[in-house]
């Protein structure tokens, strides 16, 4: 199964995503240049973290206009799996692939730390091997991760089970203290209605090896492998 | 050809020469070199190249005494960064550099551009940056201006490194009134390369084009190098325009483009346009290659109109590189830069004639004979004399300092020390730095005594740490210089790494003052002593002088950036205790020393006494014993005793992990004869607190190496708290109390700042020292 990892100018987790796909999962991977219109036969698309175009206007706001995004959207339309991680989540929201938007953290500071998230929905290509309620520990590293959405859409997002991950404490409760960035309803990640596109602020690709503190991110990538092979 | 003034150039008067920081003697030297009167452009060039920052004119003779050799050193001092081999055909490039003056005036941009500059120094060696560290010194957090500086510097470092995508993994931060008006911001970058990819910044090949790459040149940062070579004064606010503005997004593009360029084989040399911009990068590259160079400033891409040659040559606009390409490969170079949406313009050539020539179109505006423009600077051997005040302070009998009433309960003292900002958890700072990008951070900030970065594709890892206790260096520069190296070495050994090599950033006051030059010379000698004893050569670094203001100089602070090598990541060791029931072993011995301690400074407001003795042979044996014990798998945790002494070190092992704190029961009765506060809070060197499931094996290894070792207690569950017994007396503290002090101190101090983050005048009457 081939992973296509989009490199925007300013992406800085693209190499990590390639490493995850190739070294950890043993799958072929290609870096897809933002100016290209070719997904190079990728089965799965990763929109990686970073600061695309410096995030100088608004995180993800310019990257969504990159040539490659037209092909990514078409791939998503066809039901192809897409995951947006951190800046990739911001881009996916800006591009309309996912509901909502990411705002400046409530504390106004960039936050780099491990967090615990709870799997809320397993009906996605990226969480099919998870258990509902399963807790995963992985790092966050962002300044604009405060998930927000208008009241009507929130009702739909919550009502239709589009919330995939929530920030929780050690006991698994979605408390205010466990919410690092002030996200609405502790939302850490969401999916589209079809379940093939998922975005999240935490970094599963940084949690693939116990040596680095956690291997909890594996289940997310293994889910998409299982889904595509199935 | 000879240079002639441009229309509109100011007349060169003694006042103008002085304004450029040249002494009358230096100006005469310049005239003799040229055999005529210099042009204004030439005066500007020389003012930058002969500034302390570029020329090392006061420091070079002393620096030459440092050891720089080892079989694994691939590149020593004199290049953009040092490089050491780590085997498997891989090498590590690393360097530390200061951005003190800019950060004192504009903390956010000053710190950010410091990160940008050191990144470029490393990737211009052909290395991909894999980690950043920073060593920061500030005044007291009680001062609003200091809190403003801390907030700005930390945000500047974070925003830049986070955006470029290099993890910031370690460093050290200390607070003392001595740094009130002159904060120190030292940034270190570490990069990884294949040995055959190593490239040097040496201009070669007559006819080869000189290409300006990256951002356009503007008027920002003109005379930054000269600014960094003078004392700070109340007028520094007016020098804010001398501080450059950073753009990490462009840096990221430049990083990728540069590495692609180096791998392409189209270029022969590349160098950052850092301090003194185009002037120093071109002059240094020509000097290393012993060739001439000619540059036409009209061809330099500019972002402002009407810039003079003087301005273009001295601009410190960020994110620019100078490249010497192979003749005929110009278009290939441009194509690579264009892919990354960056500029590349041919601005000159390497020439056979041994001159450094600058033209504006056809008009020669500067021309120097010879190729040794930088090293032909004057060299000074300033007078060195120890300040009587330092002698008096060192001689003070600090054990005679009367105890405060509250100290009747040493648990009170311990708690207060844990909330000293120098000792307290730096989590408020480090959570603002992305420490996990690049998915190789085995140990990040706060996990261990040093950061550990795995080397993908191997079992190896590197351990990284910065260190320097300026208070020790102030009280005894030679001993303090030794300790700075020894502590950095001990720190990387605690995580399981063999100390390999150092880079250093020498932050001192005005070298023309005999007492400052004494500190500088002795501290460098001390570092040299330790580097020789511990087998860690110096591969480069940076000298930052004139860190002083009308209230006085900073503590002499020779910051050490240490790189260690871990042969197998299986043996990486954390600082926190890991399991109840394990034995706690002290390697090294306790002493009656209390001089220069954080205890005296924080509890009593006293900086006095002799700093702790530093036995370098004992340090070497300690490192050997520790590494053998770790390599044999006997060590569950290891933490060195530093600021705050043994009691603080043990407490940190208990509470440093917020998620899994553990208690400890410790008996120090073997040292009941020592003054209690020296035993608990004295900062004797050469000590490590470790926990182990096999105390006998650890003690045996220590004995074999001639290292004193004592089983002093047992790790307990968190509910047991910390219990320290000394003879008949037992000191008890709950982990909640200690943890709150340690973890809460910095957030509490900084939360006071929120309402006060405003740009103010520098604290003219700040450092009441």
Rounded to whole angstroms, how far apart are CA atoms B93 and B533?
23
Residues A114, B564, B705: CA angle, nearest 5 degrees? 115
User: A9: which chain B residues are within 8 Å (Cβ-Cβ)?
Assistant: 249, 252-253, 340-341
Domain count, chain A: 1
Res B550: pLDDT = 83
Query: Quick one: residue B496, left, alpha or beta (phi over 0 = left, psi -120 to 50 = alpha)?
Result: left
Rounded to whole angstroms, how far apart are CA atoms B761 and B389?
30
B433–A contact, CB cutoff 8 A: yes
Whether A9 sits inside 8 A of B249 (CB atoms) is yes
User: A208: which chain B residues are within 8 Å (Cβ-Cβ)?
Assistant: 439
User: B162: which chain A residues are within 8 Å (Cβ-Cβ)?
Assistant: 51, 110, 112, 141, 143
Q: Which backbone phi and psi does B261 adopt, to 5 degrees?
A: -65, -45
Q: How confident is the model at residue A113 (pLDDT cuts 50, 70, 90)?
A: very high
Res B753: pLDDT = 54
Low-confidence ranges of chain B (pLDDT < 50): 754-769
Residue B742, token pair as written in the block:
């340690």
**Which neighbouring-strand residues pair with A116?**
A137, A168
Chain B nearest CA to A51, separation (Å): 6
How many other β-carbons are positioned within 10 Å of the β-carbon of residue B38?
A: 22
Rounded to whole angstroms, how far apart are CA atoms B46 and B334?
31
Rounded to whole angstroms, how far apart are CA atoms B272 and B132?
18
- Domain hosting A69: range is 3-229
Catalytic position from the list B99, B101, B266, B705: B99
User: A10: which chain B residues are within 8 Å (Cβ-Cβ)?
Assistant: 163, 249, 252-253
The answer, yes or no, to whether ipTM is higher than 0.90 is: yes
Residue window 127-166, chain A: list those with CB within 8 Å of chain B: 139, 141, 143
Whether A86 is catalytic = yes
Whether B456 sits inside 8 A of A19 (CB atoms) is yes
User: B436: which chain A residues are within 8 Å (Cβ-Cβ)?
Assistant: 112, 139, 141, 203, 206, 212
Selecting from B249, B250, B439 the residue whose C-beta is nearest the C-beta of A206 gives B439
pLDDT digits (tens, 9 = 90+) for B586-609: 999 999 999 999 999 999 999 999
pTM value is 0.94
Q: How confident is the model at residue A206 (pLDDT cuts 50, 70, 90)?
A: very high
Rounded to whole angstroms, how far apart are CA atoms B166 and B641?
30
B436–A contact, CB cutoff 8 A: yes
Q: Is B725 helix (H, G, I), strand (E, B) or coil?
A: strand
Whether A12 sits inside 8 A of B163 (CB atoms) is yes
Rounded to whole angstroms, how far apart are CA atoms A20 and B523?
46
B658–A contact, CB cutoff 8 A: no
Whether A211 sits inside 8 A of B569 (CB atoms) is yes
Q: What is the DSSP string of B611-649?
A: PPP--HHHHHHHHHHHHHHHHTT-EEEEEE--TTHHHHH
User: A18: which chain B residues are within 8 Å (Cβ-Cβ)?
Assistant: none
Residue window 67-96, chain A: list those with CB within 8 Å of chain B: none
Residue B126, token pair as written in the block:
């052909």
A51–B contact, CB cutoff 8 A: yes
Give the chain A residue whose CA is nearest to the CA of B443. Answer: A212
Q: Which residues of B68-84 are buried (b: 16+ CB within 10 A; e: fewer)?
A: bebebbbbbbebbbbbb
User: B441: which chain A residues are within 8 Å (Cβ-Cβ)?
Assistant: 212
Pairing of strands B729-733, B722-726: antiparallel
B158–A contact, CB cutoff 8 A: yes
Whether B249 sits inside 8 A of A10 (CB atoms) is yes
- B585, B648, B651, B715, B731 from B666: Cα distances, Å: 10, 13, 11, 8, 10
First to last CA, chain A: 12
Q: Which of B403, B382, B420, B451 is CA-nearest to residue B168?
A: B451
Q: Is the dihedral of CA B206, B208, B212, B213 positive or negative?
A: negative
Residue of B159, B165, B248, B461 for testing the chain A interface, max A β-carbons within 10 Å: B165
Whether B99 is catalytic = yes
User: A177: which chain B residues are within 8 Å (Cβ-Cβ)?
Assistant: none
Selecting from B163, B436, B659 the residue whose C-beta is nearest the C-beta of A206 gives B436
Whether B439 sits inside 8 A of A205 (CB atoms) is yes
Q: How many CB pairs under 8 A join A and B?
A: 86
Q: Which of B200, B226, B192 is CA-nearest to residue B89?
A: B192
Rounded to whole angstroms, how far apart are CA atoms B12 and B37?
9
Alpha helices of B214-276 — where are they, by DSSP H? 224-227, 248-264
For residues B179 and B547, the answer to whether their CB atoms sit within 8 Å is no
How many other β-carbons are positioned within 10 Å of the β-carbon of residue B90?
A: 17
A12–B contact, CB cutoff 8 A: yes
pLDDT digits (tens, 9 = 90+) for B624-647: 999 999 999 999 999 999 999 999
Q: Which backbone phi and psi does B199 adopt, to 5 degrees?
A: -130, 145
Whether A54 sits inside 8 A of B249 (CB atoms) is yes
Res A228: pLDDT = 66
Res B764: pLDDT = 34
pLDDT digits (tens, 9 = 90+) for A145-195: 999 999 999 999 999 999 999 999 999 999 999 999 999 999 999 999 999
Selecting from B159, B162, B439 the residue whose C-beta is nearest the C-beta of A212 gives B439
B163–A contact, CB cutoff 8 A: yes
For residues B202 and B210, the answer to whether their CB atoms sit within 8 Å is no
Selecting from B248, B436, B442 the residue whose C-beta is nearest the C-beta of A112 gives B436
User: A204: which chain B residues are within 8 Å (Cβ-Cβ)?
Assistant: none
CATH value at residue A151: 3.40.50.880
Res B482: pLDDT = 98
B33–A contact, CB cutoff 8 A: no
How many other β-carbons are positioned within 10 Å of the β-carbon of residue B728?
A: 7
For residues B474 and B611, the answer to whether their CB atoms sit within 8 Å is no
B569–A contact, CB cutoff 8 A: yes
For residues B690 and B711, the answer to whether their CB atoms sit within 8 Å is no
**Which neighbouring-strand residues pair with B709?**
B587
pLDDT digits (tens, 9 = 90+) for B561-581: 999 999 999 989 999 999 999
B249–A contact, CB cutoff 8 A: yes
Res B227: pLDDT = 61
**Which neighbouring-strand residues pair with A99?**
none
Chain A nearest CA to B389, separation (Å): 43
Q: Is A24 helix (H, G, I), strand (E, B) or coil?
A: helix
């Amino acid at each position: 199964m081939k992973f296509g990892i989009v490199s925007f100018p300013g992406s800085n987790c693209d190499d990590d995503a390639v490493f995850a796909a190739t070294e950890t999962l043993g799958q072929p991977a290609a870096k897809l240049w933002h100016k290209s219109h070719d997904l190079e036969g990728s089965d799965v698309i990763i929109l990686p973290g970073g600061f695309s175009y410096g995030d100088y206007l608004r995180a993800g706001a310019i990257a969504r206009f990159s040539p490659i995004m037209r092909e990514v959207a078409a791939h998503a339309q066809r039901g192809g799996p897409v995951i947006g991680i951190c800046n990739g989540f911001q881009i996916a929201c800006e591009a309309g692939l996912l509901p909502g938007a990411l705002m400046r953290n409530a504390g106004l500071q960039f936050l780099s730390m491990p967090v615990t998230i709870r799997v809320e929905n397993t009906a996605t290509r990226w969480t099919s091997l998870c258990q509902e309620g399963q807790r995963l520990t992985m790092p966050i590293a962002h300044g604009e991760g405060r998930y927000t959405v208008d009241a009507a859409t929130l009702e739909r997002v919550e009502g239709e089970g589009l919330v995939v991950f929530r920030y929780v404490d050690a006991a698994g409760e979605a408390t205010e203290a466990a919410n690092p960035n002030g996200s609405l309803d502790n939302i850490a990640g969401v999916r589209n209605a079809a379940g093939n596109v998922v975005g999240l602020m935490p970094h599963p690709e940084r949690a693939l090896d116990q040596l680095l503190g956690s291997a909890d991110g594996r289940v997310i990538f293994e889910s998409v492998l299982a889904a595509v092979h199935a | 050809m000879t240079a002639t003034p441009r229309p509109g150039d100011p007349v060169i008067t003694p006042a103008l020469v002085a304004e450029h920081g040249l002494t009358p003697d230096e100006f005469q030297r310049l005239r003799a070199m040229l055999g005529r009167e210099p042009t204004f452009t030439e005066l500007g060039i020389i003012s930058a190249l002969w500034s302390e920052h570029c020329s090392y004119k006061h420091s070079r003779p002393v620096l030459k005494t440092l050891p720089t050799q080892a079989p694994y050193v691939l590149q020593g001092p004199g290049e953009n960064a040092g490089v050491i081999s780590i085997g498997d055909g891989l090498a590590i490039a690393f360097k530390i550099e200061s951005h003190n003056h800019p950060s004192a005036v504009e903390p956010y941009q000053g710190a950010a551009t410091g990160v940008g500059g050191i990144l470029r120094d490393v990737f211009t060696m052909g290395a991909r940056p894999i980690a950043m560290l920073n060593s920061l010194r500030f005044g007291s957090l009680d001062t609003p201006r200091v809190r403003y500086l801390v907030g700005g510097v930390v945000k500047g470092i974070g925003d830049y490194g986070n955006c470029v995508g290099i993890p910031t993994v370690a460093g050290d931060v200390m607070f003392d009134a001595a740094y009130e008006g002159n904060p120190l911001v030292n940034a270190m970058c570490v990069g990884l390369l294949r040995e055959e990819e190593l490239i040097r910044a040496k201009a070669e090949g007559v006819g080869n084009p000189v290409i300006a790459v990256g951002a356009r040149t503007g008027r920002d940062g003109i005379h930054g190098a000269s600014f960094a070579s003078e004392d700070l004064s109340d007028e520094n606010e007016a020098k804010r325009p001398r501080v450059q503005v950073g753009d990490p997004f462009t840096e990221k593009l430049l990083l990728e483009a540069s590495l692609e360029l180096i791998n392409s084989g189209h270029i022969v040399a590349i160098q950052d346009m850092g301090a003194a911009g185009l002037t120093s990068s071109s002059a240094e590259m020509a000097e290393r290659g012993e060739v001439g160079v000619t540059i036409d400033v009209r061809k330099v891409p500019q972002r402002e109109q009407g810039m003079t040659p003087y301005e273009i040559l001295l601009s410190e606009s960020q994110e620019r590189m100078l490249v010497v390409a192979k003749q005929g490969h110009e278009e290939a170079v441009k194509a690579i830069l264009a892919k990354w949406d960056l500029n590349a313009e041919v601005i000159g050539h390497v020439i056979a004639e041994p001159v450094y020539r600058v033209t504006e179109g056809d008009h020669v505006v500067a021309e120097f004979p010879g190729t040794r423009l930088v090293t032909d600077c004057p060299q000074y051997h300033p007078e060195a004399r120890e300040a009587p005040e330092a002698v008096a302070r060192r001689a003070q009998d600090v054990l005679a300092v009367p105890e405060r009433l509250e100290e009747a309960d040493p648990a009170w003292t311990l708690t207060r020390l844990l909330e000293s900002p120098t000792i307290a958890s730096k989590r408020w700072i480090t959570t603002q730095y992305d420490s996990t990008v690049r998915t190789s951070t085995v140990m990040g900030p706060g996990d261990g005594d040093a950061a550990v970065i795995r080397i993908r594709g191997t079992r190896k890892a590197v351990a990284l740490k910065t260190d320097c206790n300026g208070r020790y260096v102030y009280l005894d520069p030679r001993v303090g210089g030794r300790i700075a190296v020894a502590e950095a070495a001990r720190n990387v050994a605690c995580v399981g790494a063999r100390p390999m090599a150092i880079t250093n950033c020498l932050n001192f006051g005005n070298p023309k003052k005999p007492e400052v030059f004494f500190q500088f010379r002795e501290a460098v000698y001390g570092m040299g002593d330790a580097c020789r004893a511990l087998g860690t050569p110096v591969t480069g670094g940076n000298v930052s002088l004139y860190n002083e203001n009308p209230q006085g100089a900073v503590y002499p602070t020779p910051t050490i950036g240490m790189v260690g090598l871990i042969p197998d990541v299986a043996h990486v060791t954390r600082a926190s205790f890991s399991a109840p029931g394990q034995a706690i072993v002290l390697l090294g011995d306790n002493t009656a020393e209390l001089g220069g301690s954080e205890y005296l400074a924080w509890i009593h407001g006293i900086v006095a006494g002799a700093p702790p003795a530093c036995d370098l042979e004992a340090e070497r044996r300690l490192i050997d014993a520790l590494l053998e014990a770790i390599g044999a798998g006997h060590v569950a945790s290891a933490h060195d005793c530093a600021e705050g002494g043994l009691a603080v070190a043990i407490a940190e092992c208990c509470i440093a992990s917020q998620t899994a704190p553990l208690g400890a029961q410790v008996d120090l009765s073997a040292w009941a004869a020592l003054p209690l506060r020296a035993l608990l809070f004295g900062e004797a060197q050469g000590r490590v607190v470790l926990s182990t499931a096999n105390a006998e094996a650890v003690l045996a290894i220590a004995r074999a190496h001639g290292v004193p070792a004592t089983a002093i207690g047992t790790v307990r569950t968190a509910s047991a708290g910390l219990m320290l017994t000394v003879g008949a007396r037992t000191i008890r503290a709950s982990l909640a109390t200690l943890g709150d002090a340690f973890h809460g101190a910095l957030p509490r101090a900084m939360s006071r700042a929120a309402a006060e983050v405003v740009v103010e005048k520098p604290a003219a009457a700040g450092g009441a020292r």
